[in-house]
Amino acid sequence: MNVDDFDFRGVIARNKIHDNSGLPTGVAEEMFGWYLEAAYHFWPEKFKKGKLSDSDAVAFVRYDSYDTQKEMPSGTAADDAFDRNDVTVGVSFYPVSNLVVKADYQFREHEGSGECADGFNLGVGWEF
């Protein structure tokens, strides 16, 4: 959903494996997760000239909650380290509409012992 210079999105995902007998130990029968994200387009119109006429810059924040061992096979205990919650803040720069350079920082925690290593990410993406 877009409202003026703001974008809002969310996703819910569930995966259920009905017969995991041929899979390695530790593979879940069910995985579940979701996220909500808000973004703000802050690139000034005065910068959109010449080769940067289609450029944009977006600041965003996202909250993820996912458990990749939501339901385990009989006799296998779930590892709480796979029940995660992350907050990600970052910025994306689009020099053209189908190319993005992105940087973000993730504050991560899991249910087992709480905090786990935070992370800084850099990425490049394109649509072709």
From residue 71, how far is each of 83, 114, 126 by CA, in Å? 11, 20, 35
Residue 6's pLDDT is 98
> Domain for residue 65, yes or no?
yes
**Cβ–Cβ under 8 Å, residues 1 and 8:** yes
- Please choose, from the candidates 118, 117, 89, 85, the residue with its C-alpha nearest in 3D space to the C-alpha of residue 103: 89
- DSSP class of 112: T
Q: Which residue has the higher pLDDT, 32 or 74?
A: 32
Q: What is the pLDDT of residues 41-74, one digit of tens each?
A: 999 999 999 999 999 999 999 999 999 999 888 8
Q: Domain of 67?
A: 2-18+28-126
Residue 118 lies in a domain: yes
Q: How many domains does the chain fold into?
A: 1
In a domain, 102, yes or no: yes
For the segment 9-36, the average pLDDT, to the nearest whole number, is 88
H or E stretch covering 124: strand 119-126
pTM: 0.83
Domain membership flag for residue 23: no
